[in-house]
Amino acid sequence: MTYKVIVLPSAQFELDEAYQWLLAETPQHAPVWYNGLLAALYSLEQLPGRCPLALESKDSREPVRQLLYGDKHHAYRILFTIRDETVLILHIRHAARTSS
């Protein structure tokens, strides 16, 4: 089964914010990071249930899962939920950031 991936406005804002920060810090690496993160997002078209539940799931009415992207020091958490045949990307947060 192939799922449809939808990036919600909140997650798109966070993605754009992270990209702009990285672009200012390392302009040569920012596009590579961005394209890699998009590839990670769209990998959720196949088997999104492979990803573990996120801590945020305990405070949510529906299961929230997470996919990690990046390396140990610069990992990002892609938080999403699965509704029928759709994956909704809720947030994209740096792993060091606490939930809010």
Residue 54 lies in a domain: yes
Residue 11 lies in a domain: yes
Measured over the CA atoms of residue 63, residue 68, residue 72 and residue 73, the dihedral's sign is negative
3-state DSSP helix/strand/coil % of the chain, to nearest 5: 40, 25, 30
Contact between residue 18 and residue 34 where contact means Cβ atoms under 8 Å apart: no
Exposure of 87 in the CB half-sphere (CA atoms within 13 A) = 26
pLDDT tens-digit readout, 38-93 = 999 999 999 999 999 999 888 889 999 999 998 877 899 999 999 999 999 999 99
Residue 39 lies in a domain: yes
Distance CA 26, CA 60 (A): 36
Domain span at 17: 4-94
pTM for the structure as a whole: 0.90
pLDDT tens-digit readout, 19-47 = 999 999 999 999 999 999 999 999 999 99
